Amino acid sequence: MTVAVAITAALLAAMAFAVAAVLQQAAASAVPETQSLRPSLFLTLVRRPLWLAGAVLDVASYLIQGVALAFGSLVLVMPLASTDLLFALPLIAWRRRRRLTRAEMAGAACTAGGMAAFLVVLPTEGGTAVPGLWDWVPALIAVVAVAAGLLAFGLRLSGSLRTGLYAAAAGLFLALLDALTKSAAGLFRDEGLGALSHWEPYALIVVGSAGMILVQSSYQAGSLAVSLPVLDTVEPVGSVVMGAAVFREPLATGWALAVQAAGGALAIAGIVILSRSSLVQA
């Protein structure tokens, strides 16, 4: 039952995030590039109704994803929660009154099939519900260091390269946010409001704020065709790594690992195909 709740909530979160990304990118792309990576970017965007609508869906997606993480592992939930393009394209195509192309349907099939292969051989037991502080320290240092390096390179570049590097940094912070959300959800589930005596709920605010600025900066820097595939790849991969390293969640081994690797590669290929759709490009 808990696995079914986690899977359903993860897919609903992906659907909400997909629509939010389209709305927010449309608003953020109209903001001058000089505001990129600055808090002023957020202050400008909150005055745009289209972005606010996306923000409401973002919050809904985050809350639903929190429910999924309270019932399931990072290794289970995050690959499913990153299938947003799979939900966004049919909706956009319906609004524009056109059919999905063969390439778009092939991309959707690759994504769905790859995720199915990944999940079929996924271990369902084991792991720590709430890791200790010292379990977190290496992950926190690694995320901040790698993200800082990506942003430093991105500032020196332009166009798609800058968009991709910003999105990669954002994906790392989102993966960290996912891991912190799982820990905080476990605390609230076990202790109720007593969870507020722990550091995780407050770290969520800091990491979430930084992640929001990075995501919006990647949207502002260029097309969703560049930023979404990077986000949809870095976030789940980072979450799976943190699940194994911080929460001690078991990964597949032997032939099952080979199936997962092939399934993950197929899903990523599907995401890239979908990102090249004219619907996303527009």
Give, for all 282 residues of the chain, the pLDDT tens digit. Answer: 677 888 889 899 988 988 887 787 777 777 766 666 666 777 777 778 888 888 899 889 988 988 888 888 888 888 888 787 777 777 777 767 788 888 888 888 888 888 888 777 777 666 676 788 888 999 999 999 999 999 999 888 877 888 889 999 999 999 999 899 988 888 888 888 888 889 999 999 999 999 988 988 888 887 777 787 788 788 888 888 888 888 888 777 778 888 888 888 888 888 778 777 776 665
Longest pairwise C-alpha distance within the chain: 53
Q: Which two tokens stand for residue 59?
A: 């919050």
Rounded to the nearest angstrom, the gap between the alpha carbon of residue 62 and the centroid of all alpha carbons in its chain is 10
Q: Which two tokens stand for residue 4?
A: 């079914």
- DSSP code, position 36: T
The domain tally of the chain equals 1
- Domain span at residue 244 reads 2-281
